[in-house]
């Protein structure tokens, strides 16, 4: 998963991009980058680390120009090395071109092999570079036609921002796997993975970039924008896991507010998976809070913050080594013994992936005196890996890929375990956003494979 942000015709384009990336830090913490331009040259800075640490005033001052794109990286395709940081930039027959990409291309390795056979030399292992090579080889002189030509050969998930000296282009793959929104800042077009980036800099949210839409902003013609739809119409497959876990709750994704959606998932979960005779609902903070509020409202059980989260460590899931992950749970989540002692708890979380967090947490809750623990998950079992840009573990590590709900309950040590159904999840997600979601990690129903 990654974040992208782009702004045109702004006095402090790089500075505003830095702020936008800051608001999107939750989508990727490995590294960050900005490419800006004044309509001639590109200015580039990419580095591993967090946005607030990397973009100091002297760095931002060097990123000149009225238009910029930026990226936060969360490694999916390609490893965690600095060559794989984005935006990628390359010189070609049509001049320099830079791309910021969120998503995963499913035919990248096949295309890379073909391009290498034909003489292309790759600088990174990230799949995004494939798009640049295809642009360079297109034989087209104009970025819009070259990009269209390149994207027609690609399948998979991409929300892209593409920049050269003439254009800022925003494009979302025909199935719309990853989110992308547009708005205006001082009357000029602006783009981001999520609306929360607009809120921070006082930009106005207008709408989604539609699946299959290419929005072209002309840097040479007063930043006017126009849309083209170069692809065959395809059923939408927007990632439902963005609504469940990934996006920030204050964002609007696919036209609906994430907080409201998560609360409704919790309500629906309470209807599908009630917990008889429980005393209270407690969330696994922070990601489980919104569904727990919904569960509490629908079940009329009191809501209590029975677990306190320390904010001074990263998300445990990201840590690469199992030993650190287990340790991280202790560091991160601590039960409030005085609140939960002797009580029967409904513990609500948004998803259960490897089960390591839940197992440790339930142990801590029991040590702190909980009488019963009824674990409720506001999503269906995560049983299949994602190939479209979310860094889920391999099938082997996914607890639900080879275990029944009862086996998972035993493994995590809960008295009862209840998941939301796929029908329930989709019903809530579709309420405001309409039909057309990817749910492959829950259903195994992959919309596009290579």
Q: Which residues are catalytically annotated?
A: 2
CA distance 437 to 112: 29
Please report the sign of the dihedral spanned by the C-alpha atoms of residue 121, residue 125, residue 129, residue 134: positive
Binding partner of residue 126 among ligand SF4, Mg ion, ligand 5GP, none, CB cut-off 5 to 8 Å per kind: none
DSSP 8-state secondary structure symbol assigned to residue 371:
S
Binding partner of residue 388 among ligand SF4, ligand 5GP, Mg ion, none, CB cut-off 5 to 8 Å per kind: ligand SF4
H helices of 238-277, in order, are: 241, 258-272
C-alpha distance from residue 295 to each of 267, 284, 292, 378, 422 (Å):
5, 13, 5, 9, 17
Q: What is the closest distance, in whole angstroms, from the C-beta atom of residue 125 to Mg ion in the complex?
A: 29
Determine the interface stretch with Mg ion among 159-167, 213-221, 280-288, 337-345 (rule: CB under 5 A): 280-288
By CB under 6 A, is residue 239 in contact with ligand SF4?
yes
The contacts of residue 48 (CB under 8 Å, 6+ apart) are 30, 31, 80, 82, 85
CA distance 219 to 9: 8
Determine the interface stretch with ligand SF4 among 50-58, 77-85, 189-197, 432-440 (rule: CB under 6 A): 432-440
- Of 2 and 377, nearer to Mg ion (C-beta) is 377
- Of 128 and 382, nearer to ligand 5GP (C-beta) is 382
- Of 287 and 378, nearer to Mg ion (C-beta) is 287
Tell me if 427 sits within 8 A of 268, measured CB to CB.
yes
Q: Which residues contact ligand 5GP by CB under 6 A? A: 245, 284, 287, 315, 317-318, 349-358, 390-392
19, HSE (Cβ side, Cα atoms, 13 Å): 14
Site residues for ligand SF4, 169-208, by CB under 6 A, read 177
- Of 191 and 241, nearer to ligand SF4 (C-beta) is 241
Q: What is the closest distance, in whole angstroms, from the C-beta atom of residue 104 to ligand SF4 in the complex?
A: 9
| Paired residues of 73 in beta bridges | 31
Site residues for ligand SF4, 374-393, by CB under 6 A, read 386, 388, 390
By CB under 6 A, is residue 438 in contact with ligand SF4?
yes
The contacts of residue 166 (CB under 8 Å, 6+ apart) are 39, 143, 218, 219, 220
Q: Give the nearest residue (CB) to Mg ion.
A: 287
- Of 66 and 332, nearer to Mg ion (C-beta) is 332
By CB under 6 A, is residue 360 in contact with ligand SF4?
no
Helix axes 322-332, 356-367, angle to 10 degrees: 40
The DSSP-derived string for 96-137 is: EEEEEEES-BTTHHHHHHHHHHTT---S-SSTHHHHHHHHHH
Q: What is the closest distance, in whole angstroms, from the C-beta atom of residue 19 to ligand 5GP in the complex?
A: 23
CA distance 232 to 15: 37
- Residue choice 98, 287, 378, 433 for contact with Mg ion (CB under 5 A): 287
- Of 335 and 355, nearer to ligand 5GP (C-beta) is 355
Q: What is the closest distance, in whole angstroms, from the C-beta atom of residue 107 to ligand SF4 in the complex?
A: 16
Which residues contribute to the site for Mg ion (CB under 5 A)?
A: 287
Which residues contribute to the site for ligand SF4 (CB under 6 A)?
A: 177, 239-241, 386, 388, 390, 438-441
């Amino acid at each position: 998963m990654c974040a992208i942000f782009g702004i045109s015709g702004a006095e402090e384009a790089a500075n505003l991009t830095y702020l936008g990336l800051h608001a999107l830090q939750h989508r990727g913490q490995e590294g960050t980058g900005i490419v800006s331009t004044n309509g001639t040259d590109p200015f580039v800075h990419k580095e591993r680390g967090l946005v607030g640490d990397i973009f100091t005033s002297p760095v931002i001052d060097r990123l000149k120009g009225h238009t910029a794109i930026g990226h936060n990286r969360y490694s999916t395709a390609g490893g965690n090395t600095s060559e794989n940081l984005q935006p990628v930039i390359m010189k070609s027959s049509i001049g320099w071109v830079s791309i910021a990409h969120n998503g995963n291309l499913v035919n990248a390795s096949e295309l890379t092999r073909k391009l290498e056979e034909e003489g292309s030399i790759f600088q990174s292992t990230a799949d995004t570079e494939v798009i640049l090579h295809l642009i360079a080889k297109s034989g087209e002189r104009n970025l819009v036609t070259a990009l269209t030509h390149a994207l027609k050969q690609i399948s998979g998930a991409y929300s892209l921002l593409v920049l050269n000296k003439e254009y800022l282009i925003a494009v979302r793959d025909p199935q719309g796997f990853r989110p992308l929104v547009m708005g205006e800042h001082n009357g000029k077009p602006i783009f981001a993975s999520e609306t929360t980036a607009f809120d921070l800099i006082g930009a106005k949210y207008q709408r989604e970039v539609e699946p299959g839409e290419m929005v072209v902003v002309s840097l040479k013609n007063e930043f006017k924008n126009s849309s083209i739809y170069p692809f065959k119409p395809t059923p939408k497959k927007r990632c439902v896991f963005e609504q469940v876990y990934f996006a920030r709750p204050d964002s609007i994704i696919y036209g609906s507010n994430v907080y409201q959606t998560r609360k409704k998932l919790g309500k629906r979960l309470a209807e599908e998976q009630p917990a008889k005779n429980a005393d209270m609902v407690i969330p696994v903070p922070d990601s489980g809070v919104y569904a727990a509020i919904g569960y509490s409202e629908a079940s009329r059980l009191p809501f209590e913050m029975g677990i306190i989260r320390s904010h001074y460590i990263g998300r445990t899931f990201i840590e690469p080594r199992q030993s650190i992950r287990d340790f991280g749970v202790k560091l991160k989540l601590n039960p409030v013994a005085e609140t939960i002692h002797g009580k029967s708890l409904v513990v609500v979380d948004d998803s259960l992936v490897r089960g390591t967090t839940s197992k440790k947490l339930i142990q801590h809750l029991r040590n702190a005196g909980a009488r019963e623990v009824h674990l409720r998950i506001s999503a269906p079992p995560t049983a299949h890996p994602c190939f479209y840009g979310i860094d889920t573990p391999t099938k082997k590590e996914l607890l639900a890929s080879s275990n029944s709900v009862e086996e998972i309950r035993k493994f995590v040590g809960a008295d009862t375990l209840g998941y939301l159904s796929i029908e329930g999840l989709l019903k809530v997600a579709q309420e405001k956003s309409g039909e057309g979601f990817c749910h492959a990690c829950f259903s195994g129903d992959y919309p596009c494979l290579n």
